[in-house]
Amino acid sequence: MPNLSAGAVTKPLSLWRRAMDLGATAFAIVAAVLVIVPLLAIFVYLLIKGVGALDWAFLTQTPKPVGEVGGGMANAIVGSGVILGIASVIGIPIGIGCGIYLAEYARGRFGDIVRFTADVLNGVPSIVIGIAVYSLIVVRQKHFSAFSGGIALAIMMVPTVARATEEMLLMVPNNVREAAFGLGIPKWRTTLSITLRTASAGVITGCMLAFARVAGETAPLLFTAFGNQFWNKNPNQPTAALPLQIYTYAISPFDEWHRQAWAGALILIIMIVVAVAAVRITTSRGTLKGAS
Amino acid sequence: MGVGIEVKGLNAWYGKNLSLKSIDMTVQANHVTAVIGPSGCGKSTFVRCLNRMHETIPEARAEGLVKVGEMEVYAPGQDPVEIRRRIGMVFQKPNPFPTMTIYDNVAAGLRLNGFRNRKQMDELVERSLKLAALWDEVKDTLHKKSGASLSGGQQQRLCIARSLAVEPEVLLMDEPASALDPISTSKIEELIFQLKQHYTVVIVTHNMQQAARVAEFTGFFLMGSLIEYDKTEKIFTTPADKRTEDYITGRFG
């Protein structure tokens, strides 16, 4: 074989280049580790602090009055579930619909306005959204409710879901749409059954991200769901939620409540992880081998 | 059975750019017609005008008379979706639906147009895959594998089967073999030869040998105009126009 690379390639890399390579690789690894560390640290800390107060009563009973030992956050766990359910049922369809509009139909100015509005809404502090919903709904109804809490969280979910949906749909190659048009499939059908389906993995990730983000929100619930020390089965009444309960307990002067706040935080994280994992598993069951 | 196509005074624009200049052409039913020409001559635009795919591109439009069988493609009030149902299309790059199984890919056109009969669907899928000469290679993995997991040549035959499943009268092929290796190409060519028994086929191709091999009629496009249109043999042996001769002998440009 002729030696084409006479010296140019066979010469060992200079010390400087090897050092740079090593440095860049080390930096990437350190950065990757730094991403994992906070989550891991939080989780481990929560486990240590929270497991102690975690028992069957915590999961099945309502809070006990100050001074009495025991009791739990069952009403807040269920309340959080109800509020998040309302938020998802409202926020996810609107967000996905908006994302579909932006990716598949928006032409020109109106699309830009919607996109800009979504980005701004995404940046609005959550307490401001809470106040807005308070004055729009709670003041008019003259009482707090799980509904108003759900709506506040839904408003926070919409922009995240919409932008994620838009981006995922735009990643679907145009020739997939053309293939569907070429078969005489109407545009709305193509969008729902072909394009959205092709992008579904990413869209679901976006929805889960939005869900996880609002699941821990306290501020928008302060003036909407308000919280409740007792069982409440009517979503039109003040309802307990885990973040509110954690907040109330954490700033209280009682040791017993502090312990329960830790346990509540642990349950909140577990709830989010379980919900996200459940959605992932159920939606990936239909996934095919070799599908891109 | 295939139907003939009649084109008269067809103009097409991209924005303000006139890219097809008053095309007249008559395509024979149940024959293969090739459209050749250099890049950017308007040959793809031409076939995309036949099933109104052209106008799916923003700011693109077309007007003129296109008659496919008895159907006037550009008649006012004519629904482009209905037209595309009757005129199938195969694209340059194989484009199976990536998240669907092989079976679902072929059935997609039927299913999403409201076809529900399970048994008939099975039959149509099998028939289409057989017509596309893919059945034997995929019959055991119909419901297991994704359309995207097939090889490039198989994907293209899957796309052909998908087009055939909705039982079109005309099949448009936009450089169907240009992304494929020679063996897959010859399979597709063989297939085109079979298909003309049932369909009218219009094929765009970059490859002049391919046009000579598969088509009875050939049209030569240049800069948005149809320069010459005749029997393939005539075009390749005794073209009437100097520009056609220059192009097919490779003296072009």
pLDDT computed for residue A2 by the predictor: 55
Chain A residues with CB under 8 Å of B83 CB are 184
pTM over 0.90, yes/no: no
pLDDT computed for residue B253 by the predictor: 46
Q: Is the pLDDT of residue B14 over 90?
A: yes
Q: Do the beta carbons of residue A62 and residue A75 sit within 8 Å?
A: yes
**Positive or negative: CA dihedral B66, B69, B75, B78:** negative
Q: Do B145 and A289 touch (CB under 8 A)?
A: yes
Q: Do B88 and A183 touch (CB under 8 A)?
A: yes
pLDDT computed for residue A292 by the predictor: 43
User: One-letter amino acid identity for A261?
Assistant: A
Residue A229 sits at φ, ψ, to 5 deg, of: -85, -10
Helical axes A126-133 vs A146-171, angle rounded to 10°: 130
Q: Is the pLDDT of residue A120 over 90?
A: yes
Report how far residue A31's alpha carbon sits from residue A117's, in angstroms, rounded to the nearest whole number: 33
Q: Is the pLDDT of residue A188 over 60?
A: yes
Chain B residues with CB under 8 Å of A107 CB are 58
| Largest Cα–Cα separation, chain B | 56
Q: Is the pLDDT of residue A286 over 90?
A: no
User: One-letter amino acid identity for A262?
Assistant: W
Average confidence score pLDDT of chain B: 91
DSSP state of A101: I
Render pLDDT for A15-41 as a digit per residue (tens, 0 to 9).
999 999 999 999 999 999 999 999 899
Q: How many CA atoms lie within 13 A of B3 on its CB side?
A: 16
Going by pLDDT thresholds of 50, 70 and 90, the confidence category of residue A291 is: very low
Option in B53, B112, B145 nearest A182 (CB): B53
Q: Do A183 and B145 touch (CB under 8 A)?
A: no
Report how far residue B96's alpha carbon sits from residue B46's, in angstroms, rounded to the nearest whole number: 23
Option in B82, B95, B145 nearest A178 (CB): B95
Q: Is the pLDDT of residue A268 over 90?
A: yes
Average confidence score pLDDT of chain A: 90
Distance to chain B for A107, nearest Cα, Å: 9
**Positive or negative: CA dihedral A230, A235, A241, A245:** negative
- B209 class by beta-carbon count within 10 Å (0-12 exposed, 13-18 middle, 19+ buried): exposed
What is the CA angle A217-A221-A222, rounded to 5?
115
Place of tokens 């105009």: B225
Place of tokens 């999961």: A59
Q: What is the mean pLDDT of residues A142-159?
A: 95
Domain locations along chain A: 80-241
Tokens of A127: 């307490």
Residue B208 sits at φ, ψ, to 5 deg, of: -70, -35
pLDDT computed for residue A132 by the predictor: 95
Q: Do A198 and B159 touch (CB under 8 A)?
A: no
Distance to chain B for A212, nearest Cα, Å: 26
- pLDDT, greater one: B113 or A127: A127
Phi-psi group of B134: left, alpha or beta (phi > 0 → left; psi -120 to 50 → alpha; rest → beta) = alpha
Q: Bridge-partner residues for B10, per DSSP? A: B23
The CA–CA distances, whole Å, from B178 to B131, B186, B210, B213 equal 21, 11, 10, 15
Identify the helix (H) or strand (E) that includes residue B20: strand B17-27
Render pLDDT for A168-184 as a digit per residue (tens, 0 to 9).
999 999 999 999 999 99
Domains, chain B, with CATH or none? 5-248 (3.40.50.300)
Render pLDDT for B118-171 as a digit per residue (tens, 0 to 9).
899 999 999 999 988 899 999 999 998 999 999 988 999 999 999 999 989 999
By C-alpha distance, which of B136, B166, B183 is closest to B51? B166
Q: What is the mean pLDDT of residues A133-143?
A: 93
Q: Which value does ipTM take for this structure?
A: 0.88
Render pLDDT for B197-235 as a digit per residue (tens, 0 to 9).
889 999 999 888 899 999 999 999 999 999 999 999 999
Render pLDDT for B88-104 as a digit per residue (tens, 0 to 9).
999 999 999 998 999 99
Report how far residue B104's alpha carbon sits from residue B97's, in angstroms, rounded to the nearest whole number: 9
- pLDDT, greater one: B46 or A287: B46
Q: What is the mean pLDDT of residues A223-233?
A: 88
**Positive or negative: CA dihedral A47, A51, A54, A56:** positive
Q: Do the beta carbons of residue B159 and residue B95 sit within 8 Å?
A: yes
Q: Is A288 on the interface with B (CB under 8 A)?
A: yes
Chain B residues with CB under 8 Å of A179 CB are 91, 95-97, 159, 162
**What share of chain B has pLDDT > 70, as a percent?**
99
User: One-letter amino acid identity for B154?
Assistant: Q
Percent of residues in chain A assigned helix, strand, coil, to nearest 5: 75, 0, 25
CB pairs under 8 A between A and B: 97
**What share of chain A has pLDDT > 70, as a percent?**
93
Q: What is the mean pLDDT of residues B69-93?
A: 91
Option in A176, A184, A289 nearest B81 (CB): A184
A residues 105-134 near B, CB within 8 Å?
A: 107
pLDDT computed for residue A41 by the predictor: 93
pLDDT computed for residue A6 by the predictor: 52
Q: Which CATH number fits domain A80-241: 3.90.1720.10, 3.40.50.620, 1.10.3720.10, 3.50.50.60?
A: 1.10.3720.10
pLDDT computed for residue B51 by the predictor: 92
- A230 class by beta-carbon count within 10 Å (0-12 exposed, 13-18 middle, 19+ buried): exposed
Place of tokens 């293209």: B156
